[in-house]
Amino acid sequence: MQTQALRTKIDVRVSSADKQVLGRAASAAGLTVSEFIRASALAQADDTLADRRSFMLNRAKSMEFQAALEAAPRALPRMQRLLTEPGFFDAVPLLTPTTER
């Protein structure tokens, strides 16, 4: 027995003309309208997110990028101080709690 993956429904409002175009395109692709919209939306999502996952560099820029990755980290004294000094909530309180009267 196969288990079906959980799916959620997305409703999309389109005009009658848009629905007809989607229906014709789905039919031409041999898909249902739902399958066509899902495949098209996922393809567009991949295109939209592509530049956030990978990027292409020419040979010179690639060598420059690799050199930057391999370079020793530069000293950032202000950042080092920020990360090593006590934070606001780490400081010792100046006031002591009052005793009950």
pLDDT at site 36: 97
pLDDT for residue 3: 59
58 residue type, one letter: N
Cα torsion 32, 37, 43, 46 to 10°: value is -140
Average pLDDT over residues 15-24: 97
- In this predicted structure, the answer to whether residue 100 has a pLDDT above a threshold of 90 is no
* pLDDT of 18 strictly over 70: yes
Q: In the chain, which ranges are continuous DSSP H helix? A: 16-29, 33-53, 59-70, 77-84
Predicted local confidence at residue 94, as pLDDT: 67
